[in-house]
């Protein structure tokens, strides 16, 4: 039995999950920065 398809699938899941986490963190950071700028401007 060839193990490479399972190894490739595991790496793809890990890289996809990491990429998704990076995208989520980046959008959350941008949203927080925008909110911070709005609060700072309102003072």
pLDDT of residue 12: 98
Q: What is the pLDDT of residues 11-38, one digit of tens each?
A: 999 999 999 999 999 999 999 999 988 8
CA dihedral over 26, 31, 34, 39, signed as positive or negative: negative
pLDDT of residue 24: 98
Phi, psi dihedrals of residue 3, rounded to the nearest 5°: -95, -10
pLDDT of residue 40: 84
pTM: 0.74
**Residue 1 pLDDT more than 90?**
no
40 versus 25: which is more confidently predicted?
25
């Amino acid at each position: 039995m060839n193990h490479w398809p399972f190894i490739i699938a595991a790496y793809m899941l890990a890289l996809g999950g990491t990429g998704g986490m990076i995208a989520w963190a980046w959008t959350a950071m941008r949203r927080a920065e925008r909110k911070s700028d709005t609060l700072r401007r309102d003072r």
